[in-house]
Chain A
Amino acid sequence: MGDHHHGPAKGLSRWLFTTNHKDIGTMYLWFSFSMFILGGAFAMIIRAELFQPGMQLVEPAFFNQMTTLHGLVMVFGAIMPSFVGLANWMIPMMIGAPDMALPRMNNWSFWILPPAFLILAGTLFMEGGAPNFGWTFYAPLSTTYAPPSVTYFIFSIHVLGLSSIMGSINIIATVMNMRAPGMTYMKMPLFVWTWLITAFLLVAVMPVLAGAVTMMLMDIHFGTSFFSAAGGGDPVLFQHIFWFFGHPEVYIIILPAFGVVSQIIPTFARKPLFGYDSMVYATAAIAFLSFIVWAHHMYTVGMPVAGELFFMYATMLIAVPTGVKVFNWVTTMWRGAMTFETPMLFCMGFLVLFTIGGFTGLMLSIAPADFQYHDSYFVVAHFHYVMVAGAVFSMSAAVYYWLPKWCGRMYNETMGKTHFWISFIGFNITFFPQHFVGLAGMPRRIPDYALQFADFNMMSSIGAFIYGASQILFLYNVIATIVAGKPTSEAKTWEGAEGLEWTVATPAPYHTFETPPQVR
């Protein structure tokens, strides 16, 4: 095989036709960042409108399109692809494989993403506007009462689902078949473990989502009545199907984030992860529980009391494995020798804020209390604490952590830390007051609000602008590092880092582990 050692092709064809896991990972990461900026821009419009009571900038109809697209773009365009990008880059390097198991499919699963989002964003310019029924697209608002662009939305969801399923199959195949000799399952880095479990969740639930949108398509165009009571269907059925996908989906988003944090904390605590085995089991337990708790999103739809009790108890149980994870991270730090470079700061931010999001999650699991919290800003605050401070913070941590390995240049630590602190402060100014207005009775997804909510909303908007601006700093920091960062060739960027990815040269060569390493 010696003759085939070659670098990347030149020009555009390198990116279009590449089957290299690092190139594909890079494309995923840039794509997801651009979607993050787009979804962020939508959020800025939302917060600008909510800056003061009264309608100032946009019409209610357009406001609904913004909340819908913000959710869809952030979940399907920013967070999910970013972790797939990270998986592409890191999983082969972490398990000592030369590439992903199915490289051509890998190329395909990335390249169908941009057209799908082009279609989704293109709905903004269509007659009747973009989807306006929320990212949860409850029927019949999303069927009988939807704008014509809903058909494009359905097509786009189908394509995203296809991409996710292919990406997951690839990850499962890679982890199962391509581990280096001696890399047993229980020696795999936790990031690989969490992604393996995530991939199974994706393969299980993305077809369910595809089924839901196909039924919508049938209802809209082919005269069926799956979700229309007038024709013998059931609007609540839609919610059951959606959340059977939707609840595992939130763990699809957060489990890889758990994996990242489990890699980074031991590095900067200079101490092995406390309770590796129990972390693996806790991840598996969370994944299992995620399938039997979906109706906690639907406490107010009028389920029988037995149903409410079952979903309440099952949901409360999730606190146990999640608690195990948090306790293990904290114990890993205990009596370590910690330093606080940017990746560690983001992990600390994650740990504090995700735990707060976990607490509000526990509060939300209590069905009778949820009758007051449900569909209020309290829920908005809760899921941004787990999605943004959970997924996005850990993603930022991952980028700072592995960037030197990827490009052979060191980022500017001062700028990194500045990015963290502005993000952390901006995030909390944005979302902490949302707990208050939610408890005081402000519903979510409203373009205008009563006067008693004015101060906290203004505060929230100011925080959002600060948080938004900090992401521009992030972009600048990453580009500055790639273009002009201080070159580094140390294989092990971080003193305390462990794992195969730190045994290859820096920057990571185009092909790594063509000869599998021996793991002991």
Chain B
Amino acid sequence: MLLKANRLRELALGPVLMLLGLASAGAAAAGDKVNQVNMAPGATEIGQSIYDLHMLIFWICVIIGALVFGVMFYSIYYHRKSRGVTPSTFHESTKVEIAWTVVPFLILIGMAVPATSTLLEIYDFDDAEMDVLITGYQWKWKYEYLDENGENVSFFSNLRTPQGEIYNTADKGEHYLLEVDEPLVIPVDTKVRFLVTANDVIHSWWVPELAVKKDAIPGFINETWTRASTEGIYRGQCAELCGKDHGFMPVVVNVVSKDEYAGWLETKKAEAAEIRDLMAQTFTLDELMTRGKAVYERNCLACHGANGEGGVGTAIAGSAVAMGDVSGHLEIGINGVPGSAMQAFGGQINDVEMAAVITYQRNAFGNNMGDMVQPIDVYNHKKG
């Protein structure tokens, strides 16, 4: 039926699009998904059942539509006054009314049966082989692989598309707006359970080809799952309006072989161990400044400006916070300013990064406070 739909598209839409001169060259880069007109069955069994259900109901609607519109257009053509017809006066027929109440009802039962069975399949969360905690943030996703031994691996997944592409100063890449710095990696043929929540407002985690869409709600944890049967990269987006950059928090899932996944997980665990080692170190001011600059550019620059001059956020150059008490500065960095755009970064960057960026803010942009924050200070501040 997909073939049929494709053929239909070519036949019906091709000429229309050409007439309008819309066959844009830029879009061709995005590959076979360009001008996709129908749902994709995707890479999961559930996706296939949903697709079949969708097509079943679509065709039922097409048939009913053809009948109703057929009668209507027959009538419009043959029962028009200009053909000299005299109007009938018939009206009211209980038999007919009962018929067109009962028949649709039976058709609905026919639809409800497969719909129910697919729904029950989707709600079967048992026997998941691994769990991933997904947390929505304004405006990025955090993935945390829950490990039985407590060796959790977690990272943030941010939009990778450069501002220049968005603001049309650079050519748009193939996966414009659908690319991230670090995708979620899951193994093929494995039932992966997703626990979905949010840190601030409601988001919704959607990957069409994995047939998963679940709202991420602050304070609540939702369950959903997938089992991808084909390796590949699957792309989706946040589906629930979540503020300014709702359109700029894509989801990218990389489905890999089980071996590759195991290797990847080991690497991530090693990285995590490395960071734990770093936490115990004491850094020099220069080391902190170098690290801090990188952290600043990734996390702070968008709101506070390249030179700490401010923007959406307050200015950091010469600010009372950056030039005041260290613990007040740490407090804002770690816990944010509730009710404002200043987020709590305590859970988003690690203690080394936090120490570095606070140090950087206190010594860059002419602030020159000369003091330093070490990872242990961040740790102690978090402990209270």
Residues of A within 8 A of B176 (CB): 53, 450-451
Q: Which of B116, B204, B217, B339 contacts A236 (CB 8 A)?
A: B217
Which residue of chain A lies nearest to B242 when distances are taken between CB atoms in the complex? A141
Residues 92-119 (chain B) with a chain A CB within 8 angstroms? 92-93, 96-97, 100-101, 104-105, 108, 111-112, 115-116, 118-119
Measured CA separation A300–B27 after assembly (Å): 31
Which residue of chain B lies nearest to A462 when distances are taken between CB atoms in the complex? B20
Instruction: Give, as a whole number of angstroms, the nearest-CB distance from A189 to chain B.
Output: 15
Check A514 for interface membership: any CB of B closer than 8 A.
Answer: no
Known: A337-B80, A443-B238, A451-B26. A372 touches B211 (CB 8 A): yes
Residues of A within 8 A of B23 (CB): 455
Measured CA separation A60–B215 after assembly (Å): 22
A275 touching B75, Cβ below 8 Å: no
Q: Which of B97, B115, B214, B242 contacts A368 (CB 8 A)?
A: B115
Residues of B within 8 A of A277 (CB): 92
Residues of A within 8 A of B79 (CB): 269, 333-338
Check A320 for interface membership: any CB of B closer than 8 A.
Answer: yes
Q: Which of A271, A338, A455 contacts B80 (CB 8 A)?
A: A338
Measured CA separation A436–B104 after assembly (Å): 27
Check A415 for interface membership: any CB of B closer than 8 A.
Answer: no
Residues 252-271 (chain B) with a chain A CB within 8 angstroms? none
Measured CA separation A376–B239 after assembly (Å): 7
Check A490 for interface membership: any CB of B closer than 8 A.
Answer: no
Which residue of chain A lies nearest to B81 when distances are taken between CB atoms in the complex? A337
Chain B CB count within 10 A is highest, among A276, A348, A366, A374, for A366
Instruction: Give, as a whole number of angstroms, the nearest-CB distance from A353 to chain B.
Output: 11
Residues of B within 8 A of A236 (CB): 217, 220
Measured CA separation A141–B198 after assembly (Å): 12
Instruction: Give, as a whole number of angstroms, the nearest-CB distance from B136 to chain A.
Output: 12
Residues of A within 8 A of B243 (CB): 64, 132-133, 141, 145
Measured CA separation A300–B49 after assembly (Å): 18
Q: Which of B65, B69, B100, B213 contacts A327 (CB 8 A)?
A: B100
B81 touching A339, Cβ below 8 Å: yes
Interface string of B187-223 (1 = CB under 8 A from A): 0000000000000111010101001111101111011
Check B326 for interface membership: any CB of A closer than 8 A.
Answer: no
Residues of B within 8 A of A228 (CB): 219
Q: Which of B101, B167, B218 contacts A55 (CB 8 A)?
A: B167
Residues of B within 8 A of A454 (CB): 24, 26-27
A354-362, A416-424, A468-476, A503-511 - interface stretch:
A354-362
Residues of B within 8 A of A449 (CB): 177, 247
Instruction: Give, as a whole number of angstroms, the nearest-CB distance from A301 to chain B.
Output: 5
Instruction: Give, as a whole number of angstroms, the nearest-CB distance from B119 to chain A.
Output: 5
A363 touching B57, Cβ below 8 Å: yes
Residues of A within 8 A of B58 (CB): 363
Interface string of B216-248 (1 = CB under 8 A from A): 011110110000000000011111111111111
Residues of A within 8 A of B213 (CB): 300, 371-372, 374-375
Q: Which of A141, A278, A312, A455 contacts B27 (CB 8 A)?
A: A455
Indicate the size class of the contact surface on chain A.
Answer: 35 or more
Instruction: Give, as a whole number of angstroms, the nearest-CB distance from B49 to chain A.
Output: 7
Residues of B within 8 A of A276 (CB): 91-92
Check B22 for interface membership: any CB of A closer than 8 A.
Answer: yes
Indicate the size class of the contact surface on chain B.
Answer: 35 or more
Instruction: Give, as a whole number of angstroms, the nearest-CB distance from A320 to chain B.
Output: 5
Check A498 for interface membership: any CB of B closer than 8 A.
Answer: no
Residues of A within 8 A of B217 (CB): 229, 235-236, 301-302
Q: Which of A352, A445, A456 contacts B241 (CB 8 A)?
A: A445
Instruction: Give, as a whole number of angstroms, the nearest-CB distance from A314 to chain B.
Output: 11
Residues 1-47 (chain B) with a chain A CB within 8 angstroms? 17, 20, 22-24, 26-27, 29-31, 33-40
Residues of A within 8 A of B201 (CB): 138, 140-141, 144-145
Residues of A within 8 A of B65 (CB): 355-356, 359
B242 touching A366, Cβ below 8 Å: no
Measured CA separation A271–B212 after assembly (Å): 51
Q: Which of B72, B87, B104, B235 contacts A335 (CB 8 A)?
A: B87
Check A317 for interface membership: any CB of B closer than 8 A.
Answer: yes
Q: Which of A313, A336, A351, A369 contacts B88 (CB 8 A)?
A: A336
B166 touching A55, Cβ below 8 Å: yes
B240 touching A446, Cβ below 8 Å: no
Which residue of chain A lies nearest to B99 when distances are taken between CB atoms in the complex? A327
A319 touching B104, Cβ below 8 Å: yes
Known: A327-B100, A447-B247, A458-B22. A372 touches B39 (CB 8 A): yes
A368 touching B119, Cβ below 8 Å: yes
A452 touching B68, Cβ below 8 Å: no
Residues of B within 8 A of A61 (CB): 244
| B residues whose Cβ falls under 8 Å from a Cβ of A | 17, 20, 22-24, 26-27, 29-31, 33-40, 49-50, 53-54, 57-58, 61, 64-65, 68-69, 71-72, 75-76, 79-82, 85-93, 96-97, 100-101, 104-105, 108, 111-112, 115-116, 118-120, 122-123, 138, 165-168, 172, 174-178, 200-202, 204, 206, 208, 211-215, 217-220, 222-223, 235-248, 339
- 12 pairs, CB–CB < 8 Å, chain A vs chain B: A55-B166, A55-B168, A145-B200, A273-B91, A300-B214, A333-B75, A372-B208, A376-B239, A439-B39, A440-B40, A450-B178, A451-B27
